Structure 1
Amino acid sequence: MATDDTVRVWLVERTYSDDEQNVIILTYATTDGERYFRKERALTSFSDVRDTTAAVEASPTDLGDVADDRREQYAAEARRMAAEHDPEDVI
């Protein structure tokens, strides 16, 4: 649950790094599409299983501004995720 110290952001994009093998980039955004939080996850083996949840809580200082050309896309996807999933749902 978001507190005064955190902001709830929703999964809007999952990509693989072009620079490094076995790195997944998870992008979470606010439902207004204005701010995003990026998480990089290195997979060290096939048995390395870590759940990706529909939403996470992030510190406002860890959020970046979404570029204008992605803002509506991120807002739409964050709103869809919020409507269809509980924050702790594994995606």
Structure 2
Amino acid sequence: MDEDENRSHDDPVRCWLVERTYTDRGLVDMVYATPDGSAVRRKQISTTIMRQRGTEATAAVTVDADDLEPVGDQDTRERYATEVERMREQHGPDEEV
């Protein structure tokens, strides 16, 4: 059984980086998805703040289930699930990517 099938809405969920986009306003938009690609957490942070903190995006983050947004499009869910699988195979959760 998939780890997401047993979670309640109060449980934290590990989500993996599936998209990263740099904007012309100096921001980084990141999308972290559940392993099955059915839900996401979007984060936006300034590249300046990232440099000041000396941090990069990590391969995974832990998110409260209530903070996840559903992914409505089946093709997008499948693409996210494939990308999560790739990230899990190539990176540890706390690894900067």
Aligned to 1:61: 66
Pick the structure with more helix per residue: 2
Residues 1:17 and 1:32: Cα distance change in structure 2 (over 3 Å): same
Using the size of structure 1 for normalisation, the TM-score is 0.83
> Quick check: 1:72 aligned with 2:78?
yes
* Percentage of matched positions with identical amino acids: 44
Residues 1:46 and 1:54: Cα distance change in structure 2 (over 3 Å): closer
The list of structure 1 runs, each at least 4 consecutive aligned residues, that deviate by more than 6 angstroms after superposition, is: none
How many residues align? The count is: 87
Aligned to 2:56: 51
Distance in 2, matches of 1:55 and 1:84, equals 12
For 1:1-91, list aligned pairs within 5 A: 5-17=11-23, 21-44=25-48, 47-48=51-52, 49-68=54-73, 69-91=75-97
Is the 2:34–2:81 contact (alpha carbons within 8 Å) kept by the matching residues of 1? Answer: yes
